[in-house]
Structure 1
Amino acid sequence: MKILHTGDWHLGRQFYGQSLEADQDAVLDQVLGAVRTHSPDVLVIAGDIFDRASPPATAVRQFNNFIRTVHADCDTSIVLIAGNHDSGDRIASYASLADPKRLLIRGPLSPEERPLILEDEHGPVAFSGLPFGNEFSARECYGDSSISCPADVVAAQVACARTYVPGNARWVIAAHVFVANATPSESERSLQVGGIETVPPGVFDGAHYVALGHLHRQQSAGGEHIRYSGSPLAFGFDEAGSAKSLTMVDLAHDGSVTLQQLPINPPRAVRVLKGELEELLDKGGREPSEDFIKLVLTDKKLLIDPMGRIREHYPNALALTYERDESAEPILLRGSSQAKLDDPIAVVGEFLSQVRGEDGTDDEMALVGSALRQLNNVEERA
């Protein structure tokens, strides 16, 4: 059985204040193209469809158009779960219109985690959708006051789902969790305030493939059959250069899986450019780009309006830092001042040394001395 795994679309999200609507349209077209080209039996969307519980109308239309097209034009079944950014009730509202023989849509937690069961030439495959839920809703749902962390929540979900899986079926789980030892990004929201938010991969024992959502980097998590597809777009500059993809899973008759990454090519990449401003301006003049850009300037001196100048070639330059600021230790940690306050030139020289990591030049110190003498002359005349 062929399974196409994706998630963490975050429809309605912005990138440093810039709309991503066009970018998300483009990647949804690529997901739809993969469905049409590879004809998977099932499309798994592992949560965080929207970026917030009350998404903008444009994001809702994007999602509705996508689901409507897949359902009308393709034979692919859909498994869809709510993530921590979604409203479980909103996601559940789609289930009332869904074909229960072809779609599994899971919003809030439920004490009955019944799977979608599909057949191939080797027999049944059970798909369990385990939406995100916090420990408080899980205690109420499962009647267990001992549930106190995400690992307990997922363990209760898996135990409940397991009871509905036929003994002769291969088992696929979709879940929205942070598996221990996986690599996060700066753009993910914590699943728990305080305490341990990760879950051990062993909680999924018995499943032949686990389609995970929440972390935005594509990666395996405790085994090749436990995997994050990653988000189709980068949402932070720490993901600059990271490959984006969908995961195609071929589930064999014995439950083993073969994985293939189908590349996603966002219309605007996320990049970090490092160098002196003049070098970057020269490169931008030769190779202008609409990509999202962070600048790390290696210039030793502060520059006048570097962002305005660079945006002539990189209109989506959104962040700027100086290399010395990123690597410098806080000034307060460099020891007490050695200069006497009655020697202002020495004080200025020491300040320059601490801030820049090098002494002032002869010309700079001469300029400081000249300015101080002029100031003294003004005071004496007054």
Structure 2
Amino acid sequence: MRILHTSDWHLGRQFHGLSLDDDHEHILVQILAMIDDARPDVVIIAGDIFDRANPPQSAITRLSQFLTTVRAASDAAIVMIAGNHDSAAQIGAMGVLADGGDAIVRGPLDEDERPLVIPDDHGPVAISALPFAFEYAARLCFEDDAIACPADVIRAQLASARKHVAEGMRWIVVAHAFVDGAATSESERPLTRMVGGIETVSAGAFEGAHYVALGHLHRPQPVGQHYIRYSGAPLAFGFDEEGQQKSVSLIDLAADGTATVTEVALKPLRQVRTIRGKLLELLAAGEVSNDIVRVVLTDDTPQIDPMKSVPRQHQWHRFEVVI
């Protein structure tokens, strides 16, 4: 079985006030091309599809068009969960766009975590889709007042999901979580609203799964085991992600459950980068760029409103000045 794993699109997000609509469109076209080329059996979107619970109409339209295109152009099953930036109700309602084929779209929690079961040449594969939820919602859903942190939420979801996975069946878990040992980025929002709350979950919580498709962290990376993986965000959302190769994860699941992971690189419409130097020297260099640029000025004396000195052809109006 072949799986395409992506997450953390953050549709509707801006970068320091700059719209990323064109950048998102550029990336989603590439992901659709990957689906057409790689012919995955399953397409997973592991949360934070939108940047906020009330996204702009352009973001909703972009997701709708993507799902409609996948459904029309391929036989891939669609698996999608809500992340901590999403409205659970909205993601759940958008599941209708995945109708017409195998799909599991999970917004709100469900006390009975039944998987989507898809057969391949080697037998059935169970896919458990575990949406993000805050602790109070999980306490109500699972009727468990002991749930006090994001790790407790995940453990409750996994306990419910395991009941429906037959012994010996290959098992894929889709979750939106912060796993111990993973590298973070500046652009990620905490998963808990409790000051001092325990945000992370141990990789050991996913014992028994053959592949864990994670969302939440923006850097593509395995954590704990090679089969527990963040696909990462498809775009850079902060200057600390400068030079980071964004990608989609392509997974081939063997008959014995062994997962082979390939990172398929994405090419951004614009690079996120930093230039350094004295203001007049940078202007004299005459660089013209449409990239998202942070300018670090090294002048000996402070520059007053350096933006006024930048000709429009430099397009440095899309930048942050660090003095």
Q: Whole-Å Cα distance in 2 between the matches of residues 282 and 130 of structure 1?
A: 54
**Counterpart of 1:244?**
246
For the pair 1:319 / 2:306, whether they are aligned, the reply is: no
Q: What does residue range 150-189 of structure 1 map to in structure 2 within 5 Å?
A: 150-189=150-189
**Counterpart of 1:254?**
256
Contact persistence 1:311–1:317 (CA under 8 A):
no
For the pair 1:59 / 2:63, whether they are aligned, the reply is: no
Q: What does residue range 33-182 of structure 1 map to in structure 2 within 5 Å?
A: 33-96=33-96, 98-99=98-99, 102-182=102-182
Residue 101 of structure 1: CA displacement? 5.5
Contact persistence 1:293–1:319 (CA under 8 A):
yes
- Structure 1's consecutive aligned runs of 4 or more residues displaced over 4 angstroms after TM superposition are none
Contact persistence 1:290–1:316 (CA under 8 A):
no
Q: What does residue range 357-372 of structure 1 map to in structure 2 within 5 Å?
A: none
Q: What does residue range 278-297 of structure 1 map to in structure 2 within 5 Å?
A: 278-283=280-285, 285=286, 287-297=287-297
What SS class does the counterpart of residue 155 from structure 2 fall into? helix
What are the superposed Cα offsets for residues 121-179 of structure 1, whole Å, 9 maximum, x if unpaired?
11111111000011111111111111101111000001100111122321111100111
Match of 2:203 among 201, 204, 209: 201
Residue 94 of structure 1: CA displacement? 2.3
- Worse-matched range after superposition: 135-144 or 301-310: 301-310
Counterpart AA for 1:299: D
Identity between Structure 1 and Structure 2 (%) = 52
Q: Whole-Å Cα distance in 1 between the matches of residues 34 and 300 of structure 2?
A: 48
Q: Whole-Å Cα distance in 1 between the matches of residues 13 and 167 of structure 2?
A: 42
Contact persistence 1:177–1:214 (CA under 8 A):
yes
**Counterpart of 2:266?**
264
**Counterpart of 2:228?**
226
Aligned residues: 320
Q: Extract unaligned runs of 5+ from structure 1.
A: 323-382
What SS class does the counterpart of residue 9 from structure 1 fall into? coil
Contact persistence 1:295–1:317 (CA under 8 A):
no
Q: Given the two structures, how large is their TM-score scaled by the length of structure 1?
A: 0.81
- Worse-matched range after superposition: 311-320 or 175-184: 311-320
What are the superposed Cα offsets for residues 90-112 of structure 1, whole Å, 9 maximum, x if unpaired?
11112356448611100111011
Q: Given the two structures, how large is their TM-score scaled by the length of structure 2?
A: 0.96
Residue 304 of structure 1: CA displacement? 4.3
Contact persistence 1:117–1:127 (CA under 8 A):
yes
What SS class does the counterpart of residue 83 from structure 1 fall into? coil
Contact persistence 1:247–1:262 (CA under 8 A):
yes
What SS class does the counterpart of residue 259 from structure 1 fall into? strand
Contact persistence 1:307–1:317 (CA under 8 A):
no
Contact persistence 2:45–2:80 (CA under 8 A):
yes
What SS class does the counterpart of residue 79 from structure 1 fall into? strand
What SS class does the counterpart of residue 275 from structure 2 fall into? strand
Assess, with a 3 A threshold, how the Cα gap between structure 1 residues 212 and 161 changes in structure 2: closer, same or farther: same
| Greater relative CO (CA pairs within 8 A, separation 6+) | 2
Q: Whole-Å Cα distance in 2 between the matches of residues 61 and 314 of structure 1?
A: 29
Q: Extract unaligned runs of 5+ from structure 2.
A: none
Q: Whole-Å Cα distance in 2 between the matches of residues 311 and 196 of structure 1?
A: 48
Contact persistence 1:124–1:168 (CA under 8 A):
no
Counterpart AA for 1:154: I
What SS class does the counterpart of residue 321 from structure 2 fall into? strand
Q: Whole-Å Cα distance in 2 between the matches of residues 280 and 6 of structure 1?
A: 38
**Counterpart of 1:32?**
32
- Aligned alpha-carbon RMSD (Å): 1.4
Counterpart AA for 2:221: Q
Q: Whole-Å Cα distance in 1 between the matches of residues 276 and 318 of structure 2?
A: 13
- Worse-matched range after superposition: 127-136 or 179-188: 179-188
Counterpart AA for 1:274: R
What SS class does the counterpart of residue 265 from structure 1 fall into? coil
What are the superposed Cα offsets for residues 71-117 of structure 1, whole Å, 9 maximum, x if unpaired?
01111111000000111111111235644861110011101111111
Greater fraction helix: 1
Q: Whole-Å Cα distance in 2 between the matches of residues 134 and 81 of structure 1?
A: 14
Contact persistence 1:231–1:244 (CA under 8 A):
yes
